[in-house]
Amino acid sequence: MKDDARSNKASEIKQKIEELKQRLQFATPKQAKAMLRELKALAQDFKGAASQLGSDAAELSSGTSGASVSPAQDTAATDDAANRTASGEAQGTAQPGEPQETAAAGTASNEAKPSGQPGEESDADATGKSDDEPSQEELKSALQAYIGAQHKEEEAANRSRAVGMKKEREDLKKLGEELKQLAKRIADLARRDGTDETESRRDKSSIDQALNDGNRALDSPELARSLDLALSERPGSARAQVSGAATAAPAQASLAYTAGAGVSSLASPQAVIL
């Protein structure tokens, strides 16, 4: 949405520049003064677009522009989710209104019964866990693989956005140059009016200041570094390390979708990026 908003703003600036160029061909010195005021507002739009590009690029390179999870959150959420599923915390607990002592006694009684007797539950049935249920380590590997894939997709999307921002930067610099030349032409014509030149000079000075500020924002080393960082693979970054560590086999990764109630309880907002 931010990229679209900036792109639309740049398109509006370009369109208004073309309109002013057309009008300038037949403008009088008095009309040129009014056009100078329009150009003053347009220069402020240019400055705002350049500044916004720098801010968005900084957010992009730092990873705060999209949904992301830190490695510590990844590990904690994955461990917690796998532990809860592997232990089956939802099974064997006391029902509402049932004393905990009764539930504990029932559990102890079930454990004391020998397995395999007719009419009696086996240990697997009593605990509610079958031999086919994935282990804690398998669940952790599956979740790490899933989260790692999400991080890789985010990195790819960020690089794609950075490519667009780099082109947008060059386009804005061209617009800034066009605004500068147009301001000179309009100001030269406005001077021929010979009346109330103070306001025209003030408008021209404001235009020059806004254009200089916008160009400084576009030429800033911070913007260049932000775009270069977003475009790089960043193999040593925290998110790249998480992605690289998640090397579970496809069969294990499929557990995230086939483990039934286990994964539905695992997929907390902190653990999985949807």
* Structure-derived torsion over alpha carbons of residues 116, 117, 120, 125, reported in degrees to the nearest 10: 0
User: In this structure, what DSSP letter does residue 134 have?
Assistant: P
Alpha helices in the chain (DSSP H): 2-24, 29-62, 71-87, 100-112, 123-127, 136-191, 197-218, 221-231, 238-245, 250-253, 255-258, 261-266
Contact of 269 with 185, CB cutoff 8 Å: no
What are the per-10-residue average pLDDT scores of the chain (274 residues)? 89 96 94 94 96 91 54 51 51 47 46 49 51 78 82 79 92 96 95 83 95 96 91 54 41 42 42 40
Which pLDDT score, from 0 to 100, does residue 244 have? 43
Q: What is the pTM of this model?
A: 0.59
Q: What is the pLDDT of residue 77?
A: 52
What pLDDT is stored for residue 87 in this prediction? 53
Report which of 238, 221, 231 is spatially closest to residue 61, judged by C-alpha positions.
231
